[in-house]
């Protein structure tokens, strides 16, 4: 399976081969990095992530950990822990995220209550709220 994705402005484009598990991360660092209540990721072997266009900006968020994003539009793209053989890619930047539905949640010890109840029972509008 090969899937493609890119950032909001289109400057960064990438390709993934053999995507592994997709999951939601509820850690506080992903929350701040994305500005979202939780961040969904998909793991791939390091060699199965291919940057096909553009250049990413790197932020070293911890020792041995980098978070790469588009320096033009800010879309978070990649989480890379040097000691792991896999990297993680933000599911929301895929062209077709629904092809890889998340199978589990991690760092639920710090999950926001709003992330636990995402959308449940709240009014849902197809577009903007009327
Ligand atoms: Zn961009
Ligand atoms: Zn996280």
Between the CA of 67 and the centroid of ligand 1 the distance, in Å, is 15
Between the CA of 66 and the centroid of ligand 1 the distance, in Å, is 18
Tokens 């053989």 correspond to: 85
| Ligand (nearest to CA of 76) | 1
Structure confidence by residue, pLDDT tens digits, 48-66:
999 999 999 999 999 999 9
* Token couple for 100: 């890889």
pLDDT level of residue 11 (50, 70, 90 thresholds)? very high
* Token couple for 60: 């070293």
Sign of CA dihedral 86, 81, 58, 70: positive
Structure confidence by residue, pLDDT tens digits, 66-117:
999 999 999 999 999 999 999 999 999 999 999 999 999 999 999 999 888 7
Between the CA of 6 and the centroid of ligand 2 the distance, in Å, is 20
**Are 41 and 25 contacting, i.e. CB atoms less than 8 angstroms apart?**
yes
CATH of 2-107, one of 3.40.50.2020, 3.30.70.120, 3.90.1170.50, 2.170.150.70: 2.170.150.70
Between the CA of 25 and the centroid of ligand 2 the distance, in Å, is 5
The answer for residues whose C-beta is within 8 angstroms of residue 1's C-beta and 6 or more apart is 17, 18, 19
Between the CA of 62 and the centroid of ligand 2 the distance, in Å, is 12
Between the CA of 29 and the centroid of ligand 2 the distance, in Å, is 6
Please give the pLDDT value at position 116.
81
Between the CA of 121 and the centroid of ligand 1 the distance, in Å, is 34
């Amino acid at each position: 399976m090969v899937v493609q994705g890119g950032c909001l402005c289109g400057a960064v484009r990438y390709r993934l081969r053999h995507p592994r598990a997709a999951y939601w991360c509820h850690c506080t660092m992903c929350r701040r990095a994305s500005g979202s209540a939780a961040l969904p990721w998909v793991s791939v072997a390091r060699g199965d992530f291919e940057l096909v266009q553009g250049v990413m900006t790197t932020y070293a968020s911890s020792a041995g950990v980098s978070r790469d994003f588009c320096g033009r539009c800010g879309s978070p793209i990649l989480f890379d822990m040097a000691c792991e053989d896999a990297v993680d890619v933000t599911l929301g930047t895929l062209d077709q995220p629904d092809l890889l539905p998340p199978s589990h949640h991690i760092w639920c010890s710090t999950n926001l209550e709003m992330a636990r109840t995402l959308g449940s029972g709240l009014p849902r509008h197809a577009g903007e709220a009327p």
